[in-house]
Amino acid sequence: MSYLVLARKWRPRRFDEMVGQEHVLRALVNALDSGRVHHAFLFTGTRGVGKTTIARILAKSLNCEKGVTSTPCGECAACREIDEGRFVDLIEVDAASRTKVDDTRELLDNVQYSPTRGRYKVYLIDEVHMLSGHSFNALLKTLEEPPPHVKFLLATTDPQKLPATVLSRCLQFSLKRLSPSLIGERLRYILDEEGVAFEPAAIRLLSRAADGSLRDGLSLLDQMLAFGGGRVAEADARTMLGTIDRGFVTRLLDRLADRDAAGLMACVAAIDEQGPDYAQVLDELASLLQKVALRQAVPDLPADEVWGIEELDGFASRIAPEDLQLYYQMAILGRRDLPLAPEPRGGLEMVLLRMLAFVPAAGPPAEAGRPAEPRPAARRSAPPGVESAPRATSPGAPAQPVPDLDLSDWRAVVDRLGLQAAARQLASHLNFVALEGDVLRLALDARGEVLRTRLQEERLAQAVSGLAGRPIRLQLEVSHDAGRTPAREKERERQERLEQARLSIENDPTVQALKDRFGAVVQPDSIKPVG
């Protein structure tokens, strides 16, 4: 018994079985239900998004024995024959193999004759852009004056190659690339129906590899079932797709979080033994960075299918939000520039070292057998295309005790603490409430609650105690009205500088002259304050 591939076995046979393309389906359903069906339709879009599938369902809708309908019965002779590809009045043509004008004329010679079995004679011409110029001329005459019993359904992946005269005589529908989530949902449904167990992370990998094409996704799933012996496991999917093991990616980020250059290079060496695609390594690293940043900003987001919650939370507590943004930007720019590197591995190594170089470190590397001594880090300029994150003065330097320290001036306290990364971010979202003996009560802005971990609270308490010269215990109280926290004050000052910059530009005589003489328009989003 021959095996029927999943793409054919699970090909939709009704509009309500289609995945995505709601904007196209809605228009077709309304046209069929109202009886206002155009004589020529053009479906455009990349491969595997449903162009010919929609065309075949439309042919069934037009020729169903129960009448023209948006819900063909699928049981009558016409519906069954169209599904099986043997309906005499559905003429399917691959224009890529019939480009000559004689082929087109031969095809259209029988247009004038009434359908043999159905209500309409339907011409489905796939890859119509492959027709020659003379063939288009032959087709154009029929499109201009079509017999009432003929419908044309044209499909193409390259509508720019169609003559404007043909485009103007068709109703054009542009089908979108499908999102990985939609493809993944369909793959999970099919596997459930087939009774095949699967790992969600494997489906996520296949959906991303499908690159917007559901047909490609089903072909990859077929390949996965053959490769894995009927299993759909993440490890098998990564091996089949040539995707780097995610353990390597988490190790890279772990070494970045520790600012361990030697560890990073050792990890790259281990990755190199796998013969990887280094651009894909940066893609995976950027994907992990994005997930960690989302976890920091919106802790209540649903669990990710690839990266575990504990894993993401661990990185979210260790890496400051501004560092995540900088790492992500460098990974994306490094991905773009990787083909220019003398060799791919060196290109990846330089991207990772750049991530360390443009974020101030806590101190110089430790010599063997001796711990590192903290020192103020120098402010480094960011590379072209990358904005460097601002840092507090002397990050990482130990706080020196200050006699008669006024803890109520919390912003001044934060500037003196010498904190860095997540601990400084946490401190910047706090505001003084009261000092009751050795207990310092602080209001925590709800926006910064994601930064609150036991480790960061301990670091903050140690820094405050060192600055005050006596043990201080912290009591944090989450509040939606924490008042003028250092973070909110910085944002307010930034907005004031931005507004001043905008007013300065608007009132500049040169700008006014350009607007008056040439109709120039100032783009507000392009204005950045200096300093």
Q: How confident is the model at residue 367 (pLDDT cuts 50, 70, 90)?
A: very low
Mean pLDDT, the chain, rounded, equals 84
DSSP string, 239-300: HHHTPPPHHHHHHHHHHHHHT-HHHHHHHHHHHHTT---HHHHHHHHHHHHHHHHHHHH-TT
Q: Report d(CA 285, CA 132) in Å as an integer.
A: 47
Q: Report d(CA 50, CA 183) in Å as an integer.
A: 12
**Domain 180-241, classified CATH 3.30.1330.60, yes or no:** no
Per mean pLDDT, which of 113-122, 293-302, 303-312 is the most reliable? 113-122
What local confidence, expressed as pLDDT, does residue 99 receive? Answer: 61
- Taking alpha carbons only, the member of 112, 90, 93, 91 closest to residue 103 is 93
What local confidence, expressed as pLDDT, does residue 530 receive? Answer: 62
pLDDT in tens, 457-481: 888 999 999 888 889 999 999 888 8
What is the average per-residue pLDDT within 345-369?
A: 70
What local confidence, expressed as pLDDT, does residue 95 receive? Answer: 81
Percent of the chain with pLDDT over 90: 42
Strands 171-174 and 90-94: unpaired
**Nearby residues of 88 by Cβ (< 8 Å), 6 or more positions away:** 81, 116, 117, 118
Q: Report d(CA 308, CA 234) in Å as an integer.
A: 14
Q: End-to-end CA distance of the chain, in Å? A: 74
Q: Which class in CATH covers the domain with range 410-483?
A: alpha beta
Q: Where are the domains of the chain?
A: 6-174, 180-241, 248-357, 410-483, 497-526
What local confidence, expressed as pLDDT, does residue 395 receive? Answer: 42
Q: How confident is the model at residue 525 (pLDDT cuts 50, 70, 90)?
A: low
Least confident stretch, 139-153, 322-336, 392-406, 409-423: 392-406
**Nearby residues of 366 by Cβ (< 8 Å), 6 or more positions away:** 372
> From the CB of residue 493, how many other CB atoms can be counted at a distance below 10 Å?
11
pLDDT in tens, 35-71: 889 999 999 999 899 999 999 999 999 999 999 999 9
Q: Report d(CA 434, CA 473) in Å as an integer.
A: 12
Least confident stretch, 249-258, 384-393, 474-483: 384-393
More confident residue, 421 or 432: 432
Q: Report d(CA 353, CA 355) in Å as an integer.
A: 5
What local confidence, expressed as pLDDT, does residue 244 receive? Answer: 80
Strands 430-436 and 439-445: antiparallel
What local confidence, expressed as pLDDT, does residue 305 receive? Answer: 67
pLDDT in tens, 183-208: 999 999 999 999 999 998 899 889 98
What local confidence, expressed as pLDDT, does residue 496 receive? Answer: 86
pLDDT value at 363 more than 80: no
Q: Report d(CA 450, CA 448) in Å as an integer.
A: 5
What local confidence, expressed as pLDDT, does residue 111 receive? Answer: 85
More confident residue, 461 or 451: 461
Decide: residue 223, CB within 10 A, 0-12 exposed, 13-18 middle, 19+ buried. middle
**Domain 248-357, classified CATH 3.90.850.10, yes or no:** no
Q: How confident is the model at residue 424 (pLDDT cuts 50, 70, 90)?
A: confident
What local confidence, expressed as pLDDT, does residue 498 receive? Answer: 84
Decide: residue 83, CB within 10 A, 0-12 exposed, 13-18 middle, 19+ buried. middle
Q: Report d(CA 228, CA 210) in Å as an integer.
A: 18
Q: State the residue for tokens 């449904």.
A: 189
pLDDT value at 110 more than 60: yes
Do the beta carbons of residue 180 and residue 220 sit within 8 Å?
no
pLDDT value at 359 more than 80: no
> From the CB of residue 144, how many other CB atoms can be counted at a distance below 10 Å?
9
Q: Report d(CA 12, CA 60) in Å as an integer.
A: 12
Q: Report d(CA 380, CA 382) in Å as an integer.
A: 6
pLDDT value at 505 more than 80: yes
- Taking alpha carbons only, the member of 428, 452, 450, 431 closest to residue 440 is 431
Residue 230 three-state SS: coil
Q: State the residue for tokens 């904005």.
A: 387
Q: How confident is the model at residue 100 (pLDDT cuts 50, 70, 90)?
A: low
Q: State the residue for tokens 């328009």.
A: 521
pLDDT in tens, 83-98: 998 999 999 888 877 6
**Domain 6-174, classified CATH 3.40.50.300, yes or no:** yes
pLDDT value at 409 more than 80: yes
What local confidence, expressed as pLDDT, does residue 152 receive? Answer: 93
pLDDT value at 332 more than 90: yes
Least confident stretch, 189-193, 227-231, 357-361, 505-509: 357-361
Q: How confident is the model at residue 374 (pLDDT cuts 50, 70, 90)?
A: very low
Least confident stretch, 1-10, 81-90, 338-347, 392-401: 392-401
Do the beta carbons of residue 482 and residue 442 sit within 8 Å?
no
Q: How confident is the model at residue 371 (pLDDT cuts 50, 70, 90)?
A: very low
